[in-house]
Amino acid sequence: MSWKETILDFFEIFGPASLAVLSFTESIIQPIPPDLLYIPMLADTIGNVPSVIWLWLTVTLSSVAGSLVGYWIGKRWGRNFVSRFSKQSHLDKIEALTVKYGTFGIFIAAFSPIPYKVFGWVAGMGEMEKKPFLLAGLCGRGLRFGLEAVLIGVYGNAAIDALNWFLDNEILLAIVMILATIPLWFIWKWWSNIELDSSPMETETGE
């Protein structure tokens, strides 16, 4: 059993409270995404809409609350700290998103596969305004976890049946996969080309 599985087994004992702790700490420093606990909990509550909504609120709000601590860390210790715990490519993506797209860029970063803790660190490092930071975080994380809640918690069995039917229709599956590659290619190209001409931090300090 891996160390991640050991930690998840420990957290499962405490139910939604453990999900809140895992989501909160993931937004600050630890590497285990809350989805690994959130998705099994959704699967256990398929069709129970109030429980699904409660889990969604728990994971979303605790994640955004944790990002505030990450924001403070980035503001307090800056790039030297962030560079030790994050890939430079992640830092560059988030800085480029926020510079080029403003609040919408923050939303993209919150919804993207980039670790959310890096998002909070960089926001604090750049002393981003807290209101758009929190609003974009709530929207981005709420949408990400909300999609999982709807697909698994609300329409779990129906989604599985639909997927099985879809997979059985090989011709339809092939057509959809071919069509899907077009927007995915454009999205990947756009994502790969997001970069800063020069670092804002360097510009401000004149380095």
DSSP 179: H
What the block records as the tokens of 187 is: 């999205």
pTM higher than 0.75, yes or no?
no
Residue 80: domain span: 3-205
| Tens digits of pLDDT across the chain (207 residues) | 555 566 556 556 667 888 899 899 998 888 888 888 888 888 888 888 899 999 999 999 999 999 999 889 888 887 776 677 666 766 777 777 767 776 777 777 677 767 778 778 878 887 888 888 888 889 888 998 998 898 888 777 776 666 566 556 666 656 766 776 776 676 667 666 666 555 444 444 444
How far is 154 from 35, CA to CA, in rounded Å? 16
Q: Structurally, how many domains does the chain consist of?
A: 1
Tokens read off for 152? 């698994």
94 within 8 A of 122, measured Cβ to Cβ = yes
Render the burial of 30-55: b for 16+ CB within 10 Å, e for the rest. Answer: eebbbbebbbebbeebbeeeebbeeb
